[in-house]
Amino acid sequence: MTAPLKAIDSSADLAALMGDLARAARAAARTLALSSTEQKNRALDAMARAIRADSASILAANAEDVAEAKSGGANAAFLDRLSLTAKRVEVMAEGLEIIRDIPDPVGAVTERWTRPNGMTIERVRVPLGVVGVIFESRPNVAADAGSLCLKAGNAVILRGGSESFRSCRAIHAALTQGLREANLPEAAITLVPTRDRAAVGLMLAGLSGNIDVIVPRGGKSLVARVQSEARVPVFAHLEGLCHVYVDGAANPEMARSIVLNSKLRRTGVCGAAETLLIDRAAWAQLKPLVQTLIDAGCEVRGDAATQAVDARVKRATDEDWDTEYLDSIIAVKVVDGLDGAIAHIDQHGSHHTDTIVTDDPDHAQRFLSEIDSAIVLHNASTQFADGGEFGFGAEIGIATGKFHARGPVGAEQLTSFKYRIHGTGQTRP
């Protein structure tokens, strides 16, 4: 059912293949940009059906990938990311239906005004063009990212990890089936049909202007490489070094619940807190937070004051303030009030997500203004840093840059805009 693996004999062959794919994607993007919401939704619906119908072949392909990875000595976490189950395939199909049901951003008029000469100017959303998605072992990204790009009217070129190659091909076959049923060009969702790692470098160079933006999905080393090499815009975050600042004016019980949730609800997500900052002014009341964390199974690495609370606290090194643990470990520091917290986050944060717990509205307002992060919260957990929690339905990732998209990148952020001007013969004096 899946396309045959292309034989790539040389780097010139690969460059030619990638060039062809990219030109076809550009042409498909033109068609998609003018496709109706109904047609795109019909494709998404058919894709969900095809994913379910192909479940057995997707799982069989995945079993081959997993067996190869196992024999190559992959660790348990890697194998978990790579492995599909009947349930995970069903979640993928449901994801396609969720994206089918979110509003189509394309064509939405976001502003409209009339000039003194009677011309009406509209700002209207249009697709971005061709999105390149470079991901690692999770094969579901092919369906999730491919479908979200489609909803926003963009063509997408998917390059999955070589370990998940067979799984991605099987999933891609189902997506292609959906495009065919809706009479949309198959090049709208292209999977790079080779495991050759040099394909990534070609994508990062932009394929002669035929890739408009790159979205990396994977670990820090992938994102770092993409950010340093890409010659086109990138939507990404390198890390989520998220902070909880518990202010002197915090409600201690609320602080306890927000700290535990921010750190421990899921430790491996980018919105998980990594550092807890506590206001020196209320240290006496707040220091039980340290024991609470330890009792909940979290390793605490702290400054001298924190160490004094409990013998199980390890001394934090300079490196701890800059470490995204993605694990049940937290760095804890006593700071001199709001100014100390802001200075610490300014120096060590990653502009991702930070929260303040306080009952003082002025402190909250200053924190929300002065912390230069994509998402700033007051009296809420950092774990809300997620497009689903924002109500976006789906996201392709979280961006910490300030250009174009920032925070959770949903369908709207995958569009650009144009100005439509309606006149009645106006000329400029």
- Minimum distance, C-beta of residue 258 to its own copies, in the bound complex (Å): 6
Q: Between 143 and 376, whose beta carbon lies closer to its own copies?
A: 376
- Minimum distance, C-beta of residue 370 to its own copies, in the bound complex (Å): 6
Q: Between 119 and 308, whose beta carbon lies closer to its own copies?
A: 119
Work out the burial of residue 391: count CB atoms within 10 Å of its CB; fewer than 13 is exposed, 13-18 middle, 19 or more buried.
exposed
Which amino acid, residue 321? W
Q: How many CB atoms lie within 10 A of CB 27?
A: 16
Sign of CA dihedral 373, 378, 383, 388: negative
Q: Between 130 and 331, whose beta carbon lies closer to its own copies?
A: 130
Q: Between 39 and 57, whose beta carbon lies closer to its own copies?
A: 39
- Minimum distance, C-beta of residue 62 to its own copies, in the bound complex (Å): 29
Contacts of 346 (CB under 8 A, 6+ apart): 371, 372
- Minimum distance, C-beta of residue 312 to its own copies, in the bound complex (Å): 25
Q: Between 225 and 378, whose beta carbon lies closer to its own copies?
A: 378
- The encoded tokens of residue 173 equal 């076959």
Q: Between 180 and 378, whose beta carbon lies closer to its own copies?
A: 378
- Minimum distance, C-beta of residue 402 to its own copies, in the bound complex (Å): 4
- Minimum distance, C-beta of residue 424 to its own copies, in the bound complex (Å): 6
The answer to whether the beta carbons of residues 349 and 243 sit under 8 Å apart is: yes
Q: Between 70 and 422, whose beta carbon lies closer to its own copies?
A: 422
What phi and psi, each to the nearest 5 degrees, are found at residue 244?
Answer: -110, 125
CA distance 372 to 342: 9
Cα 122 → chain centroid: 30
Which amino acid, residue 233? P
- Minimum distance, C-beta of residue 316 to its own copies, in the bound complex (Å): 25
Q: Between 283 and 390, whose beta carbon lies closer to its own copies?
A: 390
- The encoded tokens of residue 392 equal 């976006």
- Minimum distance, C-beta of residue 404 to its own copies, in the bound complex (Å): 4
- Minimum distance, C-beta of residue 6 to its own copies, in the bound complex (Å): 30
Strands in 95-159 per DSSP E? 109-114, 120-127, 130-135, 155-159
Residues within the interface to its own copies (CB under 8 A) = 30, 33-34, 113, 115, 119, 121, 126, 128-129, 212-213, 233, 251, 254, 257-258, 260-262, 265, 364, 368-370, 372-381, 383-384, 389-391, 402-404, 406-407, 416-428
- Minimum distance, C-beta of residue 81 to its own copies, in the bound complex (Å): 21
- Own/partner pairs, 415-419, CB within 8 angstroms, 24+ separation: 415/105, 415/106, 415/125, 415/126, 415/127, 415/128, 415/152, 415/153, 416/125, 416/126, 416/127, 416/128, 417/110, 417/123, 417/124, 417/125, 417/126, 418/123, 418/124, 418/126, 419/121, 419/122, 419/123, 419/124
- Minimum distance, C-beta of residue 165 to its own copies, in the bound complex (Å): 31
Q: Between 26 and 159, whose beta carbon lies closer to its own copies?
A: 26
- The encoded tokens of residue 362 equal 């002025």
The answer to whether the beta carbons of residues 142 and 170 sit under 8 Å apart is: no
CA dihedral 90, 92, 96, 98 (to 10 degrees): 80
Q: Between 6 and 115, whose beta carbon lies closer to its own copies?
A: 115
CA distance 164 to 307: 45
CA dihedral 276, 282, 285, 288 (to 10 degrees): 20
Q: Between 8 and 230, whose beta carbon lies closer to its own copies?
A: 230
